[in-house]
Amino acid sequence: MQLRKVVLAMTVFIFMLSCNNDDGPGFDLIPPRLLSEVVVEDAAALQAYLETHFYNYEDFENPPANFDFQVQLDTIAGANSDKRPLIQDVQSLTLEVSSEDFELEDNETVAHTLYYLIARQGQGGSPTSADSTYIRYQGSLLNGNLFDGTSDYTWQYLPFFLRGYSQAISNFRVGDAIVENPDGTTEITNGGVGVMFLPSGLAYFNGSSNGIPPYSPLIFTISTGLYIPDTDYDGDGIPSIMEDLNGDGDVTNDNTDVDRERAIRSPAFPNHLDPDDDEDGILTRDEIIIDDQGNISFPDDDNDGIPNYLDRDS
Ligand SMILES: [Ca+2]
Ligand SMILES: [Ca+2]
Ligand SMILES: [Ca+2]
Ligand SMILES: [Ca+2]
């Protein structure tokens, strides 16, 4: 799966490709569509898909010998015409999406609903949307075309991936142990297994790459194996999820010192990737206190309500 930053770069690139300057120095731009328009189409497409498809729930209920515990999706038709539609099995999650998330200038904030289905709940802990997680996945379009996938588990720092994807995964639990097989290979036991269905506004929206046309709702079947609790990606002592200052579950849109970073022409690092969150030259790690039990406290020397690590004045 493409990283989010790559996606944005691709979006800009494709936007540039779509510019037509045959008429001289001017550009005929093909403007991106509105989130509020596409979300309605995506919701209808997802609804139709969930009503006309089923997953191999019978295998999960009564696992046959050597069952691989992978979700298989199929159409309700013919010999399968009496199967239970996915719409009866899914859970949903609604997130606000801003046009700024895709660097669009429409000033929209639009609610988007994603669906997920836990075919087997893992027996281990549950990652947050900002934890590194050991995942196996397959990505496909609603027409069944596979565009990406891994045959084995791979580590993913969830904030680098699609917002809908990382949010859905935070509802899954991981496995409970790693066991060694007689042949020396290792295996994760009792991991999570499921599938998610994302509207394009929680995926690539107008971006496209690698077999994914613009405005595509996406399906990911996933297995969740392990995760690193309290992942602290920038190593500043604060778990990434605690750097989600606006509490929307998305750590990519919290950047305390963005103005300062712009002023000094530094790349803008959101707090979860920034070891000095206020750009005052003192590392965040040196502006917080972590006790022997690992509890973090945030001193505020000038009592202005802004903790030192976010305050350039203290
Ligand atoms: Ca946030
Ligand atoms: Ca920053
Ligand atoms: Ca930080
Ligand atoms: Ca400070």
In this structure, is residue 233 part of a structural domain? no
CB 112 within 8 A of CB 153: no
- Which ligand minimizes its atom distance to the CA of 237? 3
Q: Which residues pair with 221 in a beta bridge?
A: 138, 195
- Which ligand minimizes its atom distance to the CA of 240? 3
Domain boundary at 204, 227, 250, which? 227
Q: What separation in Å is there between the alpha carbon of 252 and the centre of ligand 1?
A: 6
CATH number of residue 155's parent domain: 3.10.50.40
The tens digit of pLDDT for each residue in 124-168 reads: 999 999 999 999 999 999 999 999 999 899 999 999 999 999 999
Q: Are residues 274 and 200 in the same domain?
A: no
Q: What separation in Å is there between the alpha carbon of 212 and the centre of ligand 1?
A: 27
In this structure, is residue 217 part of a structural domain? yes
Q: Are residues 66 and 29 in the same domain?
A: yes
Q: What separation in Å is there between the alpha carbon of 224 and the centre of ligand 3?
A: 26
* Burial tier of 87 (Cβ tally within 10 Å: 0-12, 13-18, 19+): middle
Give the chain's largest Cα–Cα span.
72
Q: What separation in Å is there between the alpha carbon of 274 and the centre of ligand 2?
A: 5
Q: What separation in Å is there between the alpha carbon of 255 and the centre of ligand 4?
A: 14
Q: What separation in Å is there between the alpha carbon of 280 and the centre of ligand 1?
A: 22
In this structure, is residue 221 part of a structural domain? yes
- Which ligand minimizes its atom distance to the CA of 270? 2
313 falls in which pLDDT band (50, 70, 90)? very high
The tens digit of pLDDT for each residue in 91-117 reads: 999 999 999 989 999 999 999 999 999
302 falls in which pLDDT band (50, 70, 90)? very high
Q: Are residues 251 and 304 in the same domain?
A: yes
- Which ligand minimizes its atom distance to the CA of 287? 4
Predicted local confidence at residue 166, as pLDDT: 97
- Which ligand minimizes its atom distance to the CA of 308? 4
Give the range of the structural domain holding residue 259, as residue numbers without chain letter. 240-310
Q: Are residues 92 and 193 in the same domain?
A: yes
Predicted local confidence at residue 13, as pLDDT: 46
> Look-up: residue for tokens 């565009």?
147
Q: Are residues 277 and 138 in the same domain?
A: no
Q: What separation in Å is there between the alpha carbon of 238 and the centre of ligand 2?
A: 14
Q: Are residues 142 and 74 in the same domain?
A: yes
Q: Are residues 212 and 270 in the same domain?
A: no
Q: Are residues 174 and 248 in the same domain?
A: no
In this structure, is residue 65 part of a structural domain? yes
- Which ligand minimizes its atom distance to the CA of 239? 3
Domain boundary at 175, 201, 227, which? 227
Domain boundary at 192, 227, 262, which? 227
In this structure, is residue 87 part of a structural domain? yes
DSSP the chain: ---HHHHHHHHHHHHHHT-B-TTSS--B--PPPPHHHHHHHHHHHHHHHHHHEEE-HHHHHSPPTT------EEES-GGGTTSPPGGGT-EEEEEEEEGGGGT--S--EEEEEEEEEEEE--SS----TTSEEEEEEEEEETT--EEEE-SS-EEEEGGGS-HHHHHHHTTS---SEEEE-TTS-EEEES-EEEEEEE-GGGTTTT--BTTB-TT--EEEEEEEEEE-TT--TT-SSS-GGGG-TT-SS-GGG--TTHHHHHHTT-----GGG-SSTT-SSS-GGGTSEE-TT--EE---TT-SSS-GGG-TT-
Predicted local confidence at residue 29, as pLDDT: 59
Both structure tokens of 192:
């999570």
192 falls in which pLDDT band (50, 70, 90)? very high
Q: Within 10 A of 170 (CB to CB), how many other CB atoms are there?
A: 18
In this structure, is residue 194 part of a structural domain? yes
Q: Are residues 202 and 246 in the same domain?
A: no
Q: Are residues 203 and 143 in the same domain?
A: yes
Which has the closest alpha carbon to 221: 139, 299, 298?
Answer: 139
- What's the domain count of the chain? 2
In this structure, is residue 232 part of a structural domain? no
Q: Are residues 208 and 282 in the same domain?
A: no
Decide which of 265 and 174 is more confident.
174
Residue 52, pLDDT > 80, answer: yes
Q: What separation in Å is there between the alpha carbon of 133 and the centre of ligand 3?
A: 19
Q: Are residues 101 and 214 in the same domain?
A: yes
In this structure, is residue 234 part of a structural domain? no
